[in-house]
Homo-oligomer: A and B are copies of this chain.
Amino acid sequence: MQNIDLNKKLECFNDHWSPRIIASVNGQEVKLAKFEGAFDWHSHADADEMFLVLDGSFTMEFRDRSVTLSKGQMIVVPKGVEHRPIAEAECSVMLVETAGLVNTGDGEETDRTTSAMWI
A48→B56 CA distance, assembly (Å) = 30
Q: Is the CB of B76 within 8 A of A1?
A: yes
Tell me if A68 is interfacial: C-beta within 8 Å of chain B. yes
Total count of chain A residues near the partner, CB < 8 A: 38
Residues of chain B within 8 A of A74, CB atoms compared: 3-4, 6, 23, 30
- Please tell me how many copies of the chain the complex holds: 2
| Min CB–CB distance A50 → chain B (angstroms) | 5
Q: Is the CB of B97 within 8 A of A25?
A: yes
A75→B74 CA distance, assembly (Å) = 19
Q: Is the CB of B25 within 8 A of A76?
A: yes
Tell me if A26 is interfacial: C-beta within 8 Å of chain B. yes
Given contacts A30-B50, A30-B96, A96-B30, contact A73 B4 (CB under 8 A): yes
Q: Mark A65-102, 1 if CB is under 8 A from B, else 0.
A: 10111001111111101000000000000001110000
A residues adjacent to B (C-beta < 8 A): 1-7, 23-28, 30, 47-50, 52, 54, 60, 62, 65, 67-69, 72-79, 81, 96-98
